[in-house]
């Protein structure tokens, strides 16, 4: 099998001061990464668009966008304006990552995921029309627009959909320019990519896979924390594969609500980590990522950086070393 060309990206968690997040983005560009996403986790992180704008001013090549934002925290029309403005500031390097949003972002703001599939579909439709310069009047599932128009957007700004359920995956394949698979069970990666491309019906479509890279025992413990909220939101099929019953799921949910993901990490079996994360030294991790992407037909691997003070995984997997 011929090896497909693979692009590499990072997703930065903006828990640290904006200047530190910007420094990590600059380092990613210098290491050869193609794209820089920034998590949008509501009030627990720095504002995603302020941070992205600062990154735009400090970089010159790397693509930038939210990874991911949602239809609830901001009006989708405001999101479209933010992305178009970011694209202008960055010289045409912006993209939009959009999904239903998770508990970390929505919970502290007391927001519910109302009709998430319709909300995402309406947001994509509205943003496409606004980017194209059309006058938009619509009554969506969770928002409305009345004669809205933007005269300053690039029409072909890339929109990448994200989510974990089979229904959002199928929707993303139909309406997105690509899809971001976050922490999928590795045994299901091939199937999910195949389903995405089937839904895309032969048109150009960019598939992104992201998961934690654990290079040592401390990283494995960090992955247990990162898996907590993801397992709570995982499809039934994945929970059944792990033996994660409703009782443990509710325990995870309660522990997260009391003390955040670290307080729930002990409820994640260590054996579950290798089902989702890439575990090993830098060389074996690179080999596994490239092999799985090649077999599944993934176009981009995203390295999540949850602590911008520790860029070890980002540095170890730098495109210049692969």
Give per-residue pLDDT as tens, 230-254: 899 888 999 999 999 999 999 999 9
At 271 the three-state DSSP class reads helix
Q: Where in the chain is the domain with CATH 3.20.20.30?
A: 7-215+282-321
Q: 37 and 67 in contact (C-beta within 8 Å)?
A: yes
> How confident is residue 10, by pLDDT bands cut at 50, 70 and 90?
very high
Tell me: the pLDDT tens digits for 271-301? 999 999 999 999 999 999 999 999 999 999 9
Q: Average pLDDT of 14-36?
A: 98
Beta bridge partners, 36, equal 10, 64
Put residue 245 in one of left, alpha, beta given phi > 0 → left and psi -120 to 50 → alpha.
beta
Ordered DSSP codes for 230-252 = HHHTS-HHHHHHHT--HHHHHHH
Q: pTM score, two decimals? A: 0.94
2 has a pLDDT exceeding 80: no
Percent of the chain with pLDDT over 70: 98
**Which residue do the tokens 């050869």 mark?**
32
pLDDT at 192: 96
pLDDT bin (cut points 50, 70, 90) of residue 103 is confident
**CATH number, span 7-215+282-321:** 3.20.20.30
Mean predicted lDDT score pLDDT of the chain: 95
Q: What does the pLDDT average to over 71-81?
A: 98
């Amino acid at each position: 099998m011929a090896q497909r060309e693979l692009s590499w990206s990072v997703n930065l968690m903006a828990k640290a001061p904006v200047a530190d997040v910007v420094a990590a983005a600059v380092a990613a560009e210098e290491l050869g990464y193609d794209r820089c996403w920034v998590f949008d986790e509501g009030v627990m992180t720095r504002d995603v668009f302020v941070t992205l704008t600062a990154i735009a001013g400090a970089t010159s090549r790397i693509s930038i966008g939210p990874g991911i934002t949602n239809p609830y925290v901001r009006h989708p029309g405001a999101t479209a304006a933010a992305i178009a403005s970011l694209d202008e500031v960055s010289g045409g390097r912006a993209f939009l990552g959009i999904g239903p949003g998770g508990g970390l972002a929505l919970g502290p703001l007391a927001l519910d995921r109302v009709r998430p599939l319709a909300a995402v579909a309406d947001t994509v439709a509205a943003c496409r029309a606004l980017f194209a310069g059309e006058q938009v009047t619509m009554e969506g599932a969770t928002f409305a627009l009345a004669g809205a128009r933007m005269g300053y957007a690039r029409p072909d700004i890339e929109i990448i959909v994200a989510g974990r359920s089979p229904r959002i995956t199928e929707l993303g394949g139909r309406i997105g320019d690509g899809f971001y698979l976050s922490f999928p069970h590795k045994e299901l990666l091939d199937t999910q990519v195949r389903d995405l491309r089937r839904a895309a019906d032969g048109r150009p479509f960019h598939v992104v896979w992201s998961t934690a890279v654990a290079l040592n025992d401390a990283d494995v413990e960090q992955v247990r924390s990162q898996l907590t909220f993801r397992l709570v939101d995982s499809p039934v099929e994945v929970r059944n594969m792990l033996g994660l019953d409703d009782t443990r799921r509710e325990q995870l949910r309660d522990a997260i609500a009391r003390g955040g993901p670290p307080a729930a990490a002990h409820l994640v079996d260590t054996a579950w980590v290798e089902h989702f994360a890439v575990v090993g030294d830098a060389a074996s991790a690179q080999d596994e990522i490239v092999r799985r992407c090649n077999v599944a037909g993934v176009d981009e691997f995203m390295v999540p950086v949850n602590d911008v003070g520790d860029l070890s995984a980002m540095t170890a997997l730098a495109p210049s070393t692969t």
